[in-house]
Structure 1
Amino acid sequence: MASNKPAPEAPFETDFFGVEVKTERAWEEWNPTEDSVRPVRGRHRVMKQRGGLARSSTVLGVGVIAAVGAGGMATAQSKPPVSISLPDSIADNLPDAKSLPGVGSLISDDSSDADAGNTAPLTSSTLAADTGSRPEAQGSAGEALRARILQQADQQQSEADAEAKAAAEKVAAEKAAAEAKTQQTAAETKAEAAKLAAEKAAAAKAEAERLAKLAASYALPTSSYTITSTFGEAGSMWSSGYHTGLDFAAPTGTPLKAIHSGTVKSAGWSGSYGYRTVIELDDGTELWYAHQSSISVSAGQKVSTGETIGRVGATGNVTGPHLHLEVHTPDGTGIDPMAWLRGKGLTV
């Protein structure tokens, strides 16, 4: 088998960044053989030409962009500013930073001490301004939020306390008003009762005075008697079937007096009534005195209260000596003599 020369090494060198860079070397003739094309173990690279640009140049550009991007993305809190050094051949071909859009306004020609802080890397100053990413800034924001929450909680608690206080005051006011109304009602009821009692007492007093005045002008027909029969009693001994008067039993000869002043309407015998005297009062009321043993007045005579008009007897339809007294209204209707006498203030 023919022996060939070993394959020449690729014309690459490593630059400052550890990137393989194409070097200008002379090519030698190489005839590949079975041994020379055998796969080489380990890491190897094959350079290809594309559009007249070497792959190593592309890798170099990517490395520069990555380095610049890494420097721009580093934060002031985690990493210090990264200094990038480029070969003179590349640095001379970079555009002026002031001519870049959006960057020239950030660079000032004034090199005074006041602007010394602007010489720091752009990435550092930009990220340092983002205070929200700092732990102490985040702590301050948390404290502010906590303070706002506590303030809102205090305000809500104050409002709840105020509402509870207002509700309690309203309930107390309603309770006080109800108690005052109850007391007022009780006082009014008591006053009304006292008024009614006073009116009742006044009416009773007035009635007593009236009865006393009437009693002075009215008198019982006899001073000594016993009530034996009352008005309305039923029995066969009376022709009407019931008793039409009030019986005052007394010994024969007991004096009979005029109950009230009036005029003698009739005096004499009257059948079953025996000797009877009728006195007509000024209001037309008639008083009948029956069963007398004797009569002391005559028709047309004026009599006064307490004047003797006759005596108790047993004449007519009787079973014993007594005064049979009847009271008739002006229209002739017979009424209960006991109730009429009591209405005049007399006690029977």
Structure 2
Amino acid sequence: MASNKPAPEAPFGTLETDFFGDEPAERAWEEWNPTEDSVRPVRGRHRVMKQRGGLARSSTVLGVGVIAAVGAGGMATAQAKPPVSISLPDSIADNLPDAKSLPGVGSLMSEDASDAAGNVNAAPLTAMTLATDSGTEAGTESAAGAGEALRARILQQAEQQQAEADAEAKAAAEKLAAEKAAAEAAKQQTAAEAKAEAEKLAAEKAAAAKAEAERLAQLAKSYALPTSSYTITSTFGESGSMWSSGYHTGLDFAAPTGTPIKAVHSGTVKSAGWSGSYGYRTVLELEDGTEVWYAHQSSISVSAGQKVTTGETIGRVGATGNVTGPHLHLEVHTPGGSGLDPMAWLRGKGLSV
């Protein structure tokens, strides 16, 4: 590389005017080559301190580091511009000491960084950026890798949150569907239970009706109508002046005189004979204490204390006593003496009146 034009050499003996310009002074310039023996060690705060990796913390080293950092950061855009050579005149460059011999500086210089002649000044400063290019690229790649990792982590978290939201929505939908299905099942169960209860009640009612019919059938076998070939002319409770109580106390079976009168149930004849307005009357006491009165008979076929059975003839239809025509006046009384509706009582025993 071509160097700048060397400056003219000055003689070793020159005259200079002193500070006040009074009289010239002659100074001799001599060549000085510093060596390890002639250079005093640096002391104080500029003393070179050995650190890990062999680097020193002197002002010179820090200056070099700053220059390297500036070159690495691209603040001077050294990478975008061609290298600039810095050289000194040959008269000065030839007299410079070897950089490796300088204390604190030689340890920073490597064999590869200097040329074969050991002239460090021949290399451009921008060459220092070459050592940092790979580091910058590595830092860029590292930053890109870190950004990609952060992006991947953010995407992963977003996907995880979306998955959790989807899972929660799915769980809520499944819960709602389960609740709806449970409500529908409960509704169906309630309807089924109501239907079963209705069917049960209907069955019980039918069974009760059947049982009542069977009971009435059995009673009908043990009970009988008091006469046959009759016509109902007056019922229980009818009002009128022809009755001394003001209302009819029995049930009238109109039939021809002499029609047989039968015992409605097994019992004992309590009384038989004349009874005023009732004419000839027979009182039959049943096993439960109920009394059946037969009035207006034309004749009586039993006597007091006699046992009779269902359907046995106990007298004949007549028109004795207070009557307007032949008929059987039938009355029913409880053990306490209260009068009952004979038609309802007979029907309660399974008989059709």
TM-score after normalising by structure 1: 0.69
| 2:283 partner letter | V
Cα 1:92–1:347 shift into 2, 3 Å: same
Instruction: Give the drift of 1:82.
Output: 6.0
* Residue equivalent to 2:33: none
State how far apart, in whole Å, the 1-side matches of 2:191 and 2:173 are: 27
Is 2:233 the partner of 1:228? Answer: yes
Question: Is the 8 Å Cα contact of residues 75 and 127 (structure 1) preserved in structure 2?
Answer: yes
Instruction: Give the drift of 1:251.
Output: 2.0
1:136-194 per-position Cα deviation (integer Å, ceiling 9, x unaligned): 66655544443333222222221111111111111122122222222222222222222
State how far apart, in whole Å, the 1-side matches of 2:303 and 2:215 are: 32
| 1:309 partner letter | I
Where 2:78 maps in the other structure, the secondary structure is: coil
Question: Is the 8 Å Cα contact of residues 76 and 124 (structure 1) preserved in structure 2?
Answer: no
* Residue equivalent to 1:37: none
| 2:217 partner letter | A
Where 1:99 maps in the other structure, the secondary structure is: coil
| 2:78 partner letter | K
Identity of aligned pairs, percent?
A: 72
Question: What pairs up with 1:228-247 in 2 under 5 angstroms?
Answer: 228-247=233-252
| 1:79 partner letter | A
* Residue equivalent to 2:78: 79
1:282-341 per-position Cα deviation (integer Å, ceiling 9, x unaligned): 111110001112212121221111111111122111222211111111111111111111
1:197-226 per-position Cα deviation (integer Å, ceiling 9, x unaligned): 222222222211111111001000011212
Instruction: Give the drift of 1:98.
Output: 6.0
1:232-271 per-position Cα deviation (integer Å, ceiling 9, x unaligned): 2222221112211111122222211110111111111111
* Residue equivalent to 2:293: 288
| 1:125 partner letter | A
Is 2:263 the partner of 1:258? Answer: yes
Question: Is the 8 Å Cα contact of residues 275 and 290 (structure 1) preserved in structure 2?
Answer: yes
1:11-48 per-position Cα deviation (integer Å, ceiling 9, x unaligned): xxxxx7xxxxxxx8867xxxxxxxxxxxxxxxxxxxxx
Residue 204 of structure 1, aligned match among 201, 204, 209: 209
State how far apart, in whole Å, the 2-side matches of 1:68 and 1:275 are: 154
State how far apart, in whole Å, the 2-side matches of 1:71 and 1:279 are: 144
Cα 1:71–1:337 shift into 2, 3 Å: closer
* Residue equivalent to 1:318: 323
Question: What pairs up with 1:45-60 in 2 under 5 angstroms?
Answer: none
Question: What pairs up with 1:165-204 in 2 under 5 angstroms?
Answer: 165-204=170-209
State how far apart, in whole Å, the 1-side matches of 2:65 and 2:329 are: 152
Question: Is the 8 Å Cα contact of residues 72 and 136 (structure 2) preserved in structure 1?
Answer: no
Where 1:268 maps in the other structure, the secondary structure is: strand
State how far apart, in whole Å, the 1-side matches of 2:101 and 2:244 are: 160
Cα 1:83–1:145 shift into 2, 3 Å: farther
* Residue equivalent to 1:44: none
- What's the C-alpha RMSD, in Å, of the aligned pairs? 3.8
Where 1:74 maps in the other structure, the secondary structure is: helix
Question: Is the 8 Å Cα contact of residues 98 and 107 (structure 1) preserved in structure 2?
Answer: no
State how far apart, in whole Å, the 1-side matches of 2:279 and 2:15 are: 189
State how far apart, in whole Å, the 2-side matches of 1:66 and 1:297 are: 157
Instruction: Give the drift of 1:126.
Output: 4.5
Instruction: Give the drift of 1:274.
Output: 1.0
Residue 125 of structure 1, aligned match among 131, 147, 153: 131
* Residue equivalent to 1:274: 279
Where 2:329 maps in the other structure, the secondary structure is: strand
* Residue equivalent to 1:6: none
Instruction: Give the drift of 1:347.
Output: 1.0
State how far apart, in whole Å, the 1-side matches of 2:69 and 2:86 are: 11
Cα 1:93–1:68 shift into 2, 3 Å: farther
The number of residue pairs the alignment matches comes to 283
State how far apart, in whole Å, the 1-side matches of 2:68 and 2:198 are: 105
State how far apart, in whole Å, the 1-side matches of 2:323 and 2:71 are: 150
State how far apart, in whole Å, the 2-side matches of 1:68 and 1:328 are: 137
Cα 1:279–1:68 shift into 2, 3 Å: closer
TM-score after normalising by structure 2: 0.68
Where 1:232 maps in the other structure, the secondary structure is: coil
Q: Which runs of 5+ in 1 are unaligned?
A: 1-15, 17-23, 28-64, 112-118
Cα 1:146–1:260 shift into 2, 3 Å: same
Question: What pairs up with 1:323-338 in 2 under 5 angstroms?
Answer: 323-338=328-343
1:97-123 per-position Cα deviation (integer Å, ceiling 9, x unaligned): 7626xx95x656799xxxxxxx99555
Question: Is the 8 Å Cα contact of residues 251 and 322 (structure 1) preserved in structure 2?
Answer: yes
* Residue equivalent to 2:304: 299
